[in-house]
Structure 1
Amino acid sequence: MDERYVFKILMLGDAGVGKTCLLQRFVENRFTGNYKCTVGVDSKIRTVEISGHKVKLQIWDTAGEERYRSMMSSYYRHVQGIILVFDTTRRRSYQNVDYWLKEIDKHAATNVRILLVGNKCDAFQGRQVCQQSAAIYAESLGVTYVEASAVTGANVERLFANLAVSIFDTHVERNRPGTVFPAEDKNAVTLKQGTGIRDFCC
């Protein structure tokens, strides 16, 4: 199969919430545990297969520190999907989701697909954000909420698969009149690396 589609995905959220670690786990299936703040932006690519089509995911990892935020507006251009990450052990990063949503509303296309991700769900004792509250909040926004752990790999495959399928459905299938997929195949996704989609860990 020829590679026909390229989806640009932006990862947003405060500094230190684990955006880089989630991306590293998804692309390389590894976790180093060494924290290094992203300077500006970085990008990685992984190809997935959705409903029989090869799709290249071009994922941009952005710096969450305030001093870099003024340069971020240009990276919202032509973005089809956004992964908005907060740290379940840092309530402040969850409260700042409102700030990032305002930035998305200001700079991104109206039909961009957004996935809210609570990272570090393996850190049970340090949790400061209730899963149910975050899920209710996401539902009020009309976005999907997933909890994940870059440390254990829990739900990392799932969150990227979820967003990729959502983008495919929104930007490809809905813009191709007459295309009909069998019910069992419409959201089929095969990821080329890793161990598959995991259940929620929290």
Structure 2
Amino acid sequence: MLQKKICLLGAFGVGKTSLVRRFVDTIFSDAYLTTVGVKIDKKVLTVGTEQQALILWDIAGEDEMSAVRLSYLRGAAGYLLVVDGTRPETLETAASIQTRVVAQAGRVPFLALLNKADLQEEWALPPQRLEALEAGGWLFRRTSAKTGEGVEASFQDLAALLAR
């Protein structure tokens, strides 16, 4: 069985841990727990006819005071950049992280998850900025860790990208 290391990156409070818990354990909790360093989980998926074990590295969020440790990306087959749709500054944090990842690790397959789709009426992401990022090669998926919308499909989509 193939094992693939997948990192979850983004600002603090965007829902990285909640997405992992929804994907791995099919649960959601409103309790906010800050990730310190990295938390590692595993889930096996079937991609085509192959089984893949995704080793999920849930990396502590980034803010003005602390940057994501890109050394955690060493050996990663791909990553998910998580954005909180209700907080536009998290999109810029994701763009900054993406720039640093490319500079340090090169072009690693990734998807950008626009999380909190259950609160879409409160979203504040500028459409023209999303379009510009898409034109630059970003692939966006809408997710909600709370309802489960798009979560399984997003991990499956990334696993399929890695199987190519």
TM-score w.r.t. structure 2 length? Answer: 0.92
| Aligned partner letter, 1:102 | T
Q: Which residue of 2 aligns with 1:144?
A: 139
Residue among 147, 156, 167 paired with 2:151: 156
Gaps of 5+ in 1: 170-202
Moved over 3 A (4+): 65-68, 132-135
Gaps of 5+ in 2: none
DSSP-derived class of the 2:98 partner: helix
Hey, what's the Cα distance between the residues in 1 that align with 2:40 and 2:66? 16
Q: Which residue of 1 aligns with 2:23?
A: 26
| Aligned partner letter, 2:149 | A
TM-superposed CA distance for 1:68, in Å, is 4.9
> Which is higher, the Rg of structure 1 or of structure 2?
1
Matched, 1:114 2:110: yes
Hey, what's the Cα distance between the residues in 2 that align with 1:143 and 1:98? 10
Q: Contact 2:85 / 2:120 at 8 angstroms: preserved in 1?
A: no
Residue among 2, 11, 16 paired with 2:8: 11
Q: CA RMSD in A?
A: 1.6
Hey, what's the Cα distance between the residues in 2 that align with 1:133 and 1:116? 16
Query: How big is each residue's C-alpha offset from its partner over 1:59-114, in whole Å with a ceiling of 9 and x where there is no partner?
Result: 100111345536x122111111110011000011112222111221122243x101
Matched, 1:41 2:23: no
Hey, what's the Cα distance between the residues in 2 that align with 1:87 and 1:33? 15
Hey, what's the Cα distance between the residues in 1 that align with 2:62 and 2:74? 20
Percent of aligned positions that are identical: 31
DSSP-derived class of the 2:119 partner: coil
